[in-house]
Amino acid sequence: MTRSLNISGIAYGGDYNPEQWPEEVWAEDMRLMTEAGVNMVSVNIFSWALLEPSEGVYDFSRLDRVLDMLYTHGIAADLATPTAAPPAWFFRSHPEALPVDRDGRRLSYGSRQTFCPSSPAYREAALRVARALGERYADHPAVVMWHVHNEYGCHNAECFCDTSAEAFRRWLRARYGDDLAALNDAWGTAFWSQWYYDWDEILPPRATGAVPNPTHRLDWRRFCSDELLSLCTAEREVLAEAAPAVPATTNFMVMYNFDALDYWRWAPELDVVSNDHYLRSTDPESEIDIAMSGDLVRSLAGNRPWLLMEHSTGAVNWQPVNRAKTAGELRRNALAHVARGADGIAYFQWRAAKAGAEQWHSAMLPHAGTDSVIWRDVVALGADLKALAEVRGSTGTAETAIVWDWDAKWALELPSQPSESIRHLELVRAWYEPLWRAGVAVDFVRPDADLSAYRLVLAPSLYLVDDAGAANLTAFAERGGTLAVGFHSGAVDENCHVRLGGYPGAFREALGVRTDELFPLLPGETVGLDAGGTGSLWSERVRPDGAEAVASYTNGPLAGVPAVMRHDHGTGTAWYLATLPDPDTLATLLERVRGEAGVRPVVSGVPEGIEAVRRRGPDADYLFLIDHRGDGAEVPVSADATELLTGKRLEAGTVTVPPGGVVVVREITTGPTGRS
């Protein structure tokens, strides 16, 4: 049973680490949190060493005071298990719990997120501290949620030690039904003399002299994700025993920072899905990254609301350059997450640290104190979120889905591919961008998802797909949907075995094409397209086998060969993009594809640069309009709508989006003029 978060309105707050400060400061924290409208904070995230000064000996006094104080001030606590930062004393008695890297070096303690996921001593210690917390605080009135660990998979998700080797073998035995012949077959070990005669011969993919075995590496990644997940669910269980009614979350980081976890397997294990998102200082259009992240997280949550557990008010100290946010960006960023389904907005961290590894990271309360732009923005955001309370619980409305699969991503990015320039996230983003610019709502789905709610399904990068996933996607087109597939998709099965008989293996028939040889392009190389524009990254000698050519190459070894194809399949349509068209060409193409599929933007006629997103509640739609370009706009809305941030009725049937600003319009959908 999924337990839900019992907090009213939109949650607002951040990581609160008062242990860094003398207690005199806490009173000011409470006063300022109240001023900013903070209603939930995450506490105790990395506090293990102070909470358990030596094995089995706890000092709860500080945390007691923190939780009591929060409760007195009406601020809820998302109480974390501190297991992402084991203390020095633990490693002194259990040096074997420190992780070993691929090259065989054992790492040292002195930072955080450094432990062997398979270490029995670590598991025991983590569950012990989780149990102690659960038992002590199960009934504390401030505690509304358990925050299990912190960003599993961040920094080190892998350990190559002998204990991990044993755990890997156990996992493999389960996967292959204790059948070593099945593993040898799946891994293709007849090649390069890699045959295993005994389970004990199998090692983690440690550093070796030449190209590693791809399936070995892929199974290792699956194992590492599962190994961490088993730690997470074990903590969750211990907490649930103590406090059956309190929901549990753990914070994901779905986008780019690390990709160690198969979040499709993780999300169903949690009551509340949370995500962390940080802007990349090198991305000139981070608003697209935020949108894509939000759509992916909402989809992981089953189109239910989720929480933004961490982002930044400004500088992010692990970026090469700690960029500050521009005027209005803090607000646009936060409300863009809400637009994509976040029912909570939180930051790392509440008060900027003066010491330690993150002293140059921004916070809600900056080093400069309250006489600062960031503080004023933080207070203003608190008021905005309060005004959006009724949005809570509303969901997305997409008719378009993009296929996203961690197995496919991991497999594509293994060494020894036809091209090492192909990156899953970059391809998905390339296809997502024109949809974002056109204001088209998008969900993400696994290949085997129920697709009945969608008109259009896009698979920009699906190198690996199993038979069930491929059948599901092609059946979608067969039954009248529109499917568009990107190059080098359907190439291998779940064991990384090439699907024989011509590319793109699993999708050949549905796409009505057959390729006999791949011609990946060099970095920076482009090839002309007769329908206009160019292609990059990839080309292939494809022969239509029922499909019609929509665009063909104009030059190079494949001049005259189709690059983009369209195929009537069953009662639907399947498109194949055998290259990466330049952004304008891709946008034009996807406009045609979605036009044929009958997919419309969230609001027609919204000027470019204004992001339009709709959340749907039982009685009203909430239209978010966010101006990223700074020109402002006048956008038509339904009669009798209300702008929630100002509370103004929009009697004229339009809303004004101020330059760089955000508006949220409630449009009533029940009654004679509404949806129902």
Under the binding rule (CB under 6 A), the answer on residue 458 touching ligand GAL is no
Give exposure, 168-189, as e/b (b: 16+ Cβ within 10 Å): bbebbeebbeeebeebbebbbb
**Residue 362 or residue 573: which is nearer to ligand GAL going by CB?**
362
Which residue's entry shows tokens 């401030």? 142
Name the H helices within 413-466. 424-437
Q: How far apart are CA 3 and CA 248, in angstroms?
A: 8
**Residue 347 or residue 624: which is nearer to ligand GAL going by CB?**
347
Under the binding rule (CB under 6 A), the answer on residue 276 touching ligand GAL is yes
Q: How far apart are CA 674 and CA 501, in angstroms?
A: 53
> CB of residue 330 vs ligand GAL: minimum separation in angstroms?
15
> CB of residue 17 vs ligand GAL: minimum separation in angstroms?
9
Under the binding rule (CB under 6 A), the answer on residue 494 touching ligand GAL is no
Which residue's entry shows tokens 């049973």? 1
> CB of residue 392 vs ligand GAL: minimum separation in angstroms?
24
341-360 footprint of ligand GAL as x/- string (CB under 6 A)? -------x---------x--
Name the H helices within 3-146. 23-36, 48-51, 61-72, 88-93, 120-137
Torsion region of 146: left, alpha or beta (phi above 0 gives left; psi -120 to 50 gives alpha): beta
> CB of residue 361 vs ligand GAL: minimum separation in angstroms?
5
Under the binding rule (CB under 6 A), the answer on residue 463 touching ligand GAL is no
Q: Which two tokens stand for residue 336?
A: 């863009």
**Residue 79 or residue 456: which is nearer to ligand GAL going by CB?**
79
Q: How far apart are CA 432 and CA 458, in angstroms?
A: 9
Under the binding rule (CB under 6 A), the answer on residue 308 touching ligand GAL is no
- 620 beta partners: 668
- 552 beta partners: 562
**Residue 608 annotated as catalytic:** no
Torsion region of 638: left, alpha or beta (phi above 0 gives left; psi -120 to 50 gives alpha): beta
Which residue's entry shows tokens 């699907």? 499
Selected from 97, 224, 239, 316, the binder of ligand GAL by CB under 6 A is 316
**Residue 276 or residue 611: which is nearer to ligand GAL going by CB?**
276
Catalytic residue among 151, 433, 611, 643: 151
> CB of residue 626 vs ligand GAL: minimum separation in angstroms?
23
**Residue 17 or residue 534: which is nearer to ligand GAL going by CB?**
17
Under the binding rule (CB under 6 A), the answer on residue 19 touching ligand GAL is no
Half-sphere exposure of 210 (CA within 13 A, CB side): 3
Q: How far apart are CA 402 and CA 453, in angstroms?
A: 13
Residue 341 CB neighbours (<10 A): 25
Binding segment for ligand GAL (CB under 6 A), chosen from 137-145, 147-155, 557-565, 638-646, is 147-155
Q: Which residue is nearest to ligand GAL (CB)?
A: 348
Under the binding rule (CB under 6 A), the answer on residue 47 touching ligand GAL is no
Q: How far apart are CA 9 and CA 80, in angstroms?
A: 22
Q: Which two tokens stand for residue 225?
A: 């994700």
Identify which of 398, 444, 315, 349 has the alpha carbon closest to the alpha carbon of residue 597: 398
Under the binding rule (CB under 6 A), the answer on residue 278 touching ligand GAL is yes
Catalytic residue among 310, 611, 643, 667: 310
**Residue 358 annotated as catalytic:** no
Binding segment for ligand GAL (CB under 6 A), chosen from 146-154, 582-590, 617-625, 659-667, is 146-154
Q: How far apart are CA 542 and CA 620, in angstroms?
A: 49
**Residue 84 or residue 458: which is nearer to ligand GAL going by CB?**
84
**Residue 84 or residue 457: which is nearer to ligand GAL going by CB?**
84
Interface residues for ligand GAL in 317-336 (CB under 6 A)?
318
Task: Return the biggest CA–CA distance within the chain.
Answer: 77
Contact yes or no for 298/306 (Cβ under 8 A): yes
Binding segment for ligand GAL (CB under 6 A), chosen from 23-31, 310-318, 462-470, 556-564, is 310-318
**Residue 275 or residue 400: which is nearer to ligand GAL going by CB?**
275
Binding segment for ligand GAL (CB under 6 A), chosen from 148-156, 259-267, 380-388, 436-444, is 148-156
Residue count (the chain): 676
**Residue 40 or residue 623: which is nearer to ligand GAL going by CB?**
40
Give the CA angle between residues 454, 460, 462 to the nearest 5°: 100
> CB of residue 394 vs ligand GAL: minimum separation in angstroms?
27
Residue 284, preceding bond cis, omega within 30 degrees? no
Selected from 277, 323, 361, 614, the binder of ligand GAL by CB under 6 A is 361
Selected from 154, 183, 239, 518, the binder of ligand GAL by CB under 6 A is 154
> CB of residue 119 vs ligand GAL: minimum separation in angstroms?
21
Under the binding rule (CB under 6 A), the answer on residue 146 touching ligand GAL is no
479 three-state secondary structure: coil
Q: How far apart are CA 45 and CA 559, in angstroms?
A: 58
Q: Can you give the binding site for ligand GAL, defined by CB under 6 A?
A: 150-151, 154, 276, 278, 310, 316, 318, 348, 358, 361
Where in the sequence numbering do the catalytic residues fall? Answer: 151, 310
